[in-house]
Amino acid sequence: MLLRLLLVALPFLLFSVTHAEQEKWNVLFIAADDMNNDLSAFGHSQVKTPNLERLASMGVRFDRAYCQQPLCGPSRASLMTGLRPDTLDMHTLKHELREKNPDVVTLGQLFRQNGYYSARAGKIYHYGNPSQIGTDANDDPETWDERFNPAGIDKTQEEKITRYGKGRQNKGLGISMAWWDPVSKDEEHTDGMVASKIIELMKQKKDEPFFLAAGFFNPHCPYVAPKRYFDLYPLEEITIPDLEEAKADLADVPPMAIQRDTKHWPYYFEDVTIEQARRCKQAYFACNSFVDAQVGRLLDALEENGLLEKTIIVFWSDHGYFLGEKGLWYKRKAFERSAQMPLIIAAPGLTEGGVTKKPVELLDLYPTLADLCGLEAPSNLEGASLRPILVDPENAEWEKPAVTQIWHNPSAWGYSIRTERWRYTEWVEGAAGRELYDHHEDPEEITNLASDESKAGLVKTLSAQLKPFVQLKAHKRN
């Protein structure tokens, strides 16, 4: 009797398995490098990003998303493992993920283990940009079935890039005030090639589940994009904050908060002029629009291949970026503009056109994708699934704060916690200073309230809330 029941049920079981296999959601994982929230998709009308606006209309825009450390290497390693930099013991650009964490299961690796094709083109883990373009750089081979490393004219014709700053003409471009606006096609550039490869892989793999990662190098310096994107931003429309006001903004900030930036303030390098900073800001905006155009190509390809209804799309950057605010440039700071970055998630059947103000973290992406795709994630992940927010962006129960840390050396480090209203930062557990900013009243973080007696209770509460996250290993602190 039992055998007869099994024979009757077998065709239905096989159908269910096959159907479930067909219904596996794909993941398109799109990364930008050093992109802040100065985007029309996030309310900054000057910077034209129509394709990110299109993506936001398909899903949820996270207005308060934060990295775990505003430096490419540790931020990306944290995101791809769902573990904080302290847990990984990774705070620099060194290639040490597997050396220190040999048994970690990365995000792409989890998908591989569950029958997905996992591949990337471009930068997902850390790359020296542009020095390591065209190589595997600090990549993790266990994450992927295949890896692709295109190199465009932004890499092969570096000698044409204009560089600013005293003594910088023969220096590297990885940290630089530098730009180039060639009359060129998108596909002549590395990021255009990245998009083309991912589109090719979509077509090849459209009948099997995939985890495809498009890692764009822009808008990381040097700021290089086809001239037509520069033309979107007439130089006379590019403004730079007043330097006297910028200097005043820093008067109540602990020295450790800006110790990397004070030697040649403003703009990091010696003798960079305001006009040169404006030119670099124009170029940065152009690079954002260039990345946006590549996102549009990817969205078009999903639609053309009938994949939109079964693909989760994630757009993220590894951290934010200063463009002259407070006279600062680049990242590696605990301020909002450095810790915050754009995040958009579009998932079939979930909210479309939603916006949330809940503070979330990049390490939440790993448990979110595992949850949405029905995969069993490692039990040690330190983030949380964003599913509740994707279902109800405005009213979801979400009490978890976002924590960002800075590490310069064993004597200079700090942690910053972001709630819906407050940003609170401690340098060396308060011994080197504290910062408190009210984002309801002071979104640009002009006034440090940490020493305000009326806020003493709040400082104590936030300090206690932050303390469990301070897990820096002994050899990383004095």
Q: Which of 19, 44, 67, 72 is catalytic?
A: 72
Is 257's pLDDT higher than 60?
yes
Q: Which letter does DSSP use for residue 24 in this model?
A: P
pLDDT in tens, 122-148: 999 999 999 999 999 999 999 999 999
Q: What contacts 427, CB < 8 A, 6 or more positions away?
A: 254, 256, 257, 412, 413, 414, 433, 434
Q: Which of 19, 44, 67, 126 is catalytic?
A: 126
Predicted pLDDT at 463? 98
Is 47's pLDDT higher than 50?
yes
Active site residue 439: no
HSE (CB half, 13 Å, CA atoms) of 101?
A: 22
Is 346's pLDDT higher than 60?
yes
Is 19's pLDDT higher than 50?
no
Q: What is the mean pLDDT of the chain?
A: 95
Predicted pLDDT at 170? 86
CA distance 170 to 178: 12
pLDDT in tens, 299-330: 999 999 999 999 999 999 999 999 999 999 99
Predicted pLDDT at 2? 41
> Could you tell me which of 102, 297, 96 has the C-alpha nearest to residue 192?
297
Burial environment of residue 106 by CB neighbours within 10 A (0 to 12, 13 to 18, 19 or more): buried
| pTM summary value | 0.95
pLDDT in tens, 396-411: 999 999 999 999 999 9
Which structure tokens are listed for 197? 């490869």
The stretch 349-362 carries a mean pLDDT of 98
CA distance 424 to 462: 7
Predicted pLDDT at 10? 41
The stretch 328-343 carries a mean pLDDT of 98
CATH number listed for the domain at residues 24-396: 3.40.720.10
Query: Which residues pair with residue 317 across a beta bridge?
Result: 32
β-pair type (210-215, 117-122) = parallel
**Residue 413 pLDDT level (bands cut at 50, 70, 90):** very high
**Residue 253 pLDDT level (bands cut at 50, 70, 90):** very high
Is 6's pLDDT higher than 60?
no
Residue type for 131, please? Answer: S
β-pair type (65-66, 117-122) = unpaired
Helix (H) or strand (E) holding 163, with range, is: strand 162-164
Is 11's pLDDT higher than 90?
no
> Could you tell me which of 412, 447, 408, 418 has the C-alpha nearest to residue 432?
412
**Residue 15 pLDDT level (bands cut at 50, 70, 90):** very low
Q: What contacts 207, CB < 8 A, 6 or more positions away?
A: none
Domain ranges in the chain are 24-396
Active site residue 189: no
Is 100's pLDDT higher than 90?
yes
Predicted pLDDT at 23? 75
